[in-house]
Amino acid sequence: MANKDPGGFLQQLRQIAARMSAGSRGAGIGLKLLIGAGALAYGVKEATYTVEGGQRAIIFNRIGGMQMDTLLSEGLHFRMPWFQYPVIYDIRARPRKISSLTGSKD
């Protein structure tokens, strides 16, 4: 049978709370490490970009404008977040069909 004494229940809750507060140091360090790892992962994600095959990129810098002398080929590249933005262009040749009227069927 369950204990129906409310005083005993409150005493058990106090004991559990005391045990949790005594062991919270490890949880605090773990939480800080988790937040730090998340911030690091976000920073790496924002600082890298990929130029796919058949594409080229130039960098737009908020301070100096376009850096036209730097043409980036395919691969993984790094940038300074919030200051540099890659502008990616497709350089693949596309077939075009041009119709014209001519005087002969050659």
| pLDDT tens per residue, range 34-89 | 899 999 999 999 999 999 999 999 999 988 888 778 899 999 999 998 899 999 99
- What residues does each domain of the chain span? 7-90
| pLDDT tens per residue, range 6-20 | 677 778 877 777 776
Q: Is 86 exposed, middle or buried (0-12, 13-18, 19+ CB in 10 A)?
A: middle
